[in-house]
């Protein structure tokens, strides 16, 4: 069963077309990886799926329900979605534990004890238990991003959206975040993620989509798209990534 | 470099065993000499200016008159208790007003920053309100409310000048404080809102738990400034006949034609406002340092 389906999505900012003819099916327990240069539309696509940006045309279907219907309650839809941002976006005035338990308590109606217990379990699993009462600015970038991932997991989302979660990190901190995402993939969490880390993409992707100027130029398994691309745009992009030492 | 020591050990040893080099010791001596000279120069120049100002004042032909008219120590002490009693009225008024201002200005700021369609009229009204009350001199609002409202002779409306004066101040100050709060709300980066909404928090919950706590913290220094202004401006209600510190000074002074009671009132205000101003400065510096630290992290 497909957790997410996109049919002919179209989105423009003013006169600039940023997404066009985007169709995608994300089956349960799979990871779809979006690759492409900055400005190719990866982040916008993720924001559209989360209804943070509106679309101009097309359909977004989550668990068989059309969520691009204007009459839909966006707050109810977002309870099923988790999103992790490039810049972490942790709440600086709240401790790690408060960041994680805010939505479970306020949105999902868990008691404080239940929410704290679940959050501490997650923190323990990802080696952050000793940071529970710290404020985000006392944490390294890698730790902050892991907390942000835990925060989005704490509401048990049907679908996790990850927007270049390692792009704001020091090279040495990238792996601690990526290994968390690999664990989640092992757990069978369904996800759509945008990344510049091609090695990582190869490891987790069930499907890779290469975007350029808002279009999906090439799609298929990691082996096809990243290692044996057929389209010249994909080849060009991957050569540039390779030259930058990121492959 | 030794090959047996691990780099970590070398670092630890170096930190423990460090003693300043010859050159560093020389530099320390030079720095101390420079500091000593700076202190000497600033002390001498300050004393010179102070001595000159004092001499000019004391030697000026009118000083004796000025001293007895404004700075009569014995008279000042004898009226201090009256003026202090008045000042307590100012403090009461400040406390009551600041609570009311806090609530009202928050509602105004929320109305002005809301984007909901249903609240469009409210947003319009709040904007008009802020425009009007920021643009009218406070003293006019006090006169209009303090003398104008009782003139209507409406049933159930008080003619208590303390209440009316407080109301006038709340009306004006809420407009100012609402703008400070609004600037704080608008200064919170949209990514914070996006993160909260992506977790399923409603607009209202996002405001309450994510935006407002950060916004208020960010505008504490300007809010403290407004608080100090508020305390001083409570003196304006004296024109309605409220016996505050200003009015108490005026009553005494018009009895004796000596202006020392006014100076006593001024000194009493300063005793409260100067520490508050210093505290505001301290809070401001702390928040600037915090922001700079975040920027470099």
| Distance between first and last Cα of chain B | 33
pLDDT of A163 strictly over 80: yes
Contact call for A85 and B192, based on CB within 8 A: no
Which of B201, B214, B293 is nearest residue A103 as measured by Cβ atoms?
Answer: B201
pLDDT, greater one: B156 or A166: A166
Task: Look up the domain containing B185 and give its range.
Answer: 70-292
pLDDT of B17 strictly over 90: no
pLDDT of B73 strictly over 60: yes
User: Does residue B160 share a domain with residue B42?
Assistant: no
Burial B26-47 (b: 16+ CB within 10 A, else e): eeeeeeeeeeeeeeeeeeeeee
How close B205 comes to chain A (CA, Å)? 8
Question: At B92, which CATH number?
Answer: 1.10.3720.10
CA torsion sign for A130, A133, A139, A142 is: positive
User: Does residue B79 share a domain with residue B222?
Assistant: yes
What own/partner pairs with CB < 8 Å and gap ≥ 24 does B19-24 have? none
Residue B127: φ, ψ to 5°: -65, -45
pLDDT tens per residue, range A26-68: 999 999 999 999 889 999 999 999 999 999 999 999 999 999 9
User: Does residue B219 share a domain with residue B138?
Assistant: yes
DSSP3 helix / strand / coil % (chain B, rounded to 5)? 85, 0, 15
User: Does residue B108 share a domain with residue B45?
Assistant: no
Which of B197, B201, B213 is nearest residue A106 as measured by Cβ atoms?
Answer: B201
| DSSP β-ladder status, A57-62 and A65-66 | antiparallel
What band does B297 get if pLDDT is binned at 50, 70 and 90?
very low
Contacts of B196 in chain A (CB under 8 A): 91, 102
* Block residue for tokens 């977790």: B199
User: Does residue B134 share a domain with residue B162?
Assistant: yes
Q: Which residues of A touch B (CB under 8 A)?
A: 47, 50, 52, 74-76, 78-79, 81-83, 85, 87, 89-93, 102-103, 106-108, 137, 151-152, 155
pLDDT of B12 strictly over 80: no
For the record, the structure tokens of B291 come out as 């922001």
User: Does residue B96 share a domain with residue B199?
Assistant: yes
Contact call for A107 and B195, based on CB within 8 A: no
* Block residue for tokens 């320390």: B28
User: Does residue B127 share a domain with residue B41?
Assistant: no
Name the CATH topology of A2-80+158-243.
Rossmann fold (3.40.50)
So where are chain A's domains?
2-80+158-243, 93-156
User: Does residue B98 lie within any of the structural domains?
Assistant: yes
Predicted structure pTM score: 0.82
Contacts of B292 in chain A (CB under 8 A): none
User: Does residue B267 share a domain with residue B205?
Assistant: yes
Contact call for A89 and B205, based on CB within 8 A: no
User: Does residue B150 lie within any of the structural domains?
Assistant: yes
Average pLDDT over residues B261-284: 93
ipTM: 0.89
For the record, the structure tokens of A144 come out as 């902050």
User: Does residue B171 share a domain with residue B89?
Assistant: yes
User: Does residue B234 share a domain with residue B184?
Assistant: yes
Residue B77: φ, ψ to 5°: -65, -35
Number of domains chain B contains: 2
3-class DSSP state of B285: helix
- For residue A83, the chain B residue with the least C-alpha distance is B198
Give A163's strand partners. Answer: A194
H helices of B18-119, in order, are 22-59, 63-70, 73-113
Helices B63-70 and B260-296 sit at what angle, rounded to 10 degrees?
A: 80
Instruction: Let me know how long chain B is.
Output: 297
User: Does residue B147 share a domain with residue B282?
Assistant: yes
* Block residue for tokens 């991003």: A145
How close A172 comes to chain B (CA, Å)? 16
- For residue A74, the chain B residue with the least C-alpha distance is B200
Residue A104: φ, ψ to 5°: -55, -40
User: Does residue B5 lie within any of the structural domains?
Assistant: no
pLDDT of B86 strictly over 70: yes
pLDDT of B241 strictly over 80: yes
Which of B191, B201, B293 is nearest residue A85 as measured by Cβ atoms?
Answer: B191
pLDDT of residue B4: 46
pLDDT tens per residue, range B120-153: 899 999 999 999 999 999 999 999 999 988 888 8
User: Does residue B174 share a domain with residue B107?
Assistant: yes
Contact call for B198 and A50, based on CB within 8 A: yes
Average pLDDT over residues A113-122: 94
Average pLDDT over residues B36-43: 96
User: Does residue B15 lie within any of the structural domains?
Assistant: yes
Average pLDDT over residues B203-232: 93
pLDDT of B294 strictly over 90: no
User: Does residue B4 lie within any of the structural domains?
Assistant: no
pLDDT of B3 strictly over 50: no
Contacts of A85 in chain B (CB under 8 A): 191, 194-195
How close B194 comes to chain A (CA, Å)? 7
């Amino acid at each position: 069963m497909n957790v997410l389906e996109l049919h002919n999505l179209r989105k423009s900012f003013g006169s600039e077309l940023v997404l066009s003819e985007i169709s995608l099916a994300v089956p349960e327990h799979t990871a779809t990886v979006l690759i492409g240069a900055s400005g190719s539309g990866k982040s916008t696509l993720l924001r559209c799926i989360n209804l943070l940006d509106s679309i101009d045309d097309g359909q977004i279907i989550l668990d068989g329900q059309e969520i691009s219907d204007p009459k839909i309650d966006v707050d109810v839809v977002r309870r099923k979605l988790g999103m992790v941002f490039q810049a972490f976006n942790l709440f600086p005035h709240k401790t790690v534990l408060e960041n994680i338990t805010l939505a479970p308590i306020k949105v999902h109606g868990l008691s404080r004890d239940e929410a704290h217990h679940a959050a501490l379990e997650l923190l323990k699993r990802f080696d952050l238990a000793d940071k529970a009462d710290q404020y985000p600015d006392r944490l390294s970038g890698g730790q902050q991003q892991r907390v942000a991932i835990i925060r989005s997991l704490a509401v048990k989302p049907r679908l996790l959206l990850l927007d270049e979660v390692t792009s704001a990190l020091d090279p040495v901190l990238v792996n601690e975040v990526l290994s968390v995402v690999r664990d989640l993939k092992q757990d069978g969490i369904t996800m759509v993620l945008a990344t510049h880390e091609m090695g990582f993409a190869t490891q987790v992707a069930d499907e890779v989509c290469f975007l350029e100027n808002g279009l999906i130029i090439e799609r298929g398994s990691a082996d096809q798209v990243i290692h044996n691309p057929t389209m010249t745009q994909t080849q060009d992009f991957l050569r540039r990534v390779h030259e930058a030492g990121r492959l | 470099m030794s090959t047996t020591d691990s780099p970590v050990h070398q670092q630890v040893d170096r930190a423990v065993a460090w003693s300043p080099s010859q050159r560093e010791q020389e530099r320390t001596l030079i720095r101390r000499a420079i500091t000593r000279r700076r202190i000497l120069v600033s002390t001498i120049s300050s004393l010179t200016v102070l001595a000159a100002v004092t001499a000019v004042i004391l030697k000026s032909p009118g000083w004796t008159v000025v001293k007895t008219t404004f700075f009569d120590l014995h008279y000042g002490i004898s009226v201090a208790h009256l003026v202090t009693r008045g000042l307590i009225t100012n403090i009461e008024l400040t406390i009551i007003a600041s609570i009311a201002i806090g609530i009202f200005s928050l509602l105004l700021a929320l109305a002005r920053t809301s984007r909901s369609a249903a609240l469009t009229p409210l947003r319009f009204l709040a904007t008009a309100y802020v425009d009007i009350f920021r643009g009218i001199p406070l003293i006019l609002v006090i006169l209009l409310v303090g003398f104008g409202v009782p003139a209507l002779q409406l049933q159930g409306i008080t003619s208590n000048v303390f209440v009316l004066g407080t109301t006038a101040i709340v009306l004006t100050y809420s407009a100012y404080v609402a703008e400070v709060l609004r600037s704080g709300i608008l200064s919170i980066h949209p990514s914070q809102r996006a993160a909260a909404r992506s977790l399923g928090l409603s607009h209202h919950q996002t405001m309450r738990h994510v935006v407002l706590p950060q916004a208020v913290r960010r505008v504490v220094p300007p809010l403290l400034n407004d608080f100090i202004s508020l305390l001083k401006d409570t003196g304006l209600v004296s024109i309605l006949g409220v016996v505050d510190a200003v009015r108490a000074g005026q009553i005494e002074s018009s009895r004796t034609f000596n202006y020392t009671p006014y100076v006593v009132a001024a000194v009493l205000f300063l005793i409260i406002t100067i520490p508050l101003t210093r505290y505001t400065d301290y809070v401001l510096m702390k928040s600037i340092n915090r922001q700079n630290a975040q920027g470099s992290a």
